[in-house]
């Protein structure tokens, strides 16, 4: 049985966002235990010219809500990107989870060839629905792991439903 666009989106985004919430919880606890200013942890980058952890979480939520909206033919909800701490990022993740879970299979299935147009750095990019969807980010996990937070593969991939 082929994987539907819905199966490749909503449940995947829900699991990724749930796991992201979990690793952020561990990141916040690590900052407290090691007496690291949470703002420093949220400002951590893997390399100097990349976005910090805080922005990576915002981007992960933007991708989840944006992909569902674009594939489902809805307007993408706008979030103001004003988060400054772990609690606000957790609220953003929960808001995004609620939004993503509002989609039913009929909303997204059949969007494999739908044209998705994005403007990236001032340039218009066109994708087919399936190509656009199959993009996954792991940077927030990598930043926290690199900062010494005791997280591993199980935190990133979570538990397998029904296992």
CB burial of 100-133 (b: ≥16 within 10 Å; e: otherwise) equals: beebeeebbbebbebebeeeeeeeeeebebbebb
Contacts of residue 56, Cβ cutoff 8 Å, sequence gap at least 6: 137, 139, 140, 143
Element (H, E) at 83: none
Domains recognised in the chain with CATH numbers:
10-157 (1.20.120.450)
86-100 vs 53-72: helix axis angle to the nearest 10?
10
Each residue's pLDDT tens digit in the chain (163 positions)?
Answer: 578 999 999 998 999 999 999 999 999 999 999 999 999 999 999 888 889 999 999 999 999 999 999 999 999 999 999 999 999 999 999 999 999 999 999 999 999 999 999 888 889 989 899 888 876 446 777 788 888 888 776 776 666 555 4
Model-level pTM?
0.86
CB burial of 16-38 (b: ≥16 within 10 Å; e: otherwise) equals: bbebbbbbbeebbebbeeeebeb
Q: Strand, coil or helix: what is 101?
A: coil
């Amino acid at each position: 049985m082929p994987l539907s666009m819905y199966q490749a989106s909503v449940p995947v985004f829900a699991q990724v966002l749930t796991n992201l919430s979990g690793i952020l919880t561990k990141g916040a606890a690590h900052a407290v235990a090691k007496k690291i200013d949470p703002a420093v942890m949220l400002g951590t980058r893997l390399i100097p010219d990349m976005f910090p952890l805080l922005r990576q979480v915002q981007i992960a939520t933007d991708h989840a809500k944006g992909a569902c909206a674009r594939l489902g033919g809805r307007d993408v909800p706008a979030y103001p990107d004003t988060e400054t701490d772990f609690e606000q990022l957790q609220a953003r993740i929960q808001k995004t989870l609620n939004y993503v879970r509002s989609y039913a299979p009929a909303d997204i299935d059949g969007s494999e060839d739908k044209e998705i147009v994005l403007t990236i750095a001032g340039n218009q990019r066109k994708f087919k629905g399936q190509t656009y969807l199959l993009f996954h980010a792991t940077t927030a996990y990598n930043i926290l792991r690199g900062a010494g937070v005791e997280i591993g593969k199980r935190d990133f991939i979570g538990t397998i439903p029904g296992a």
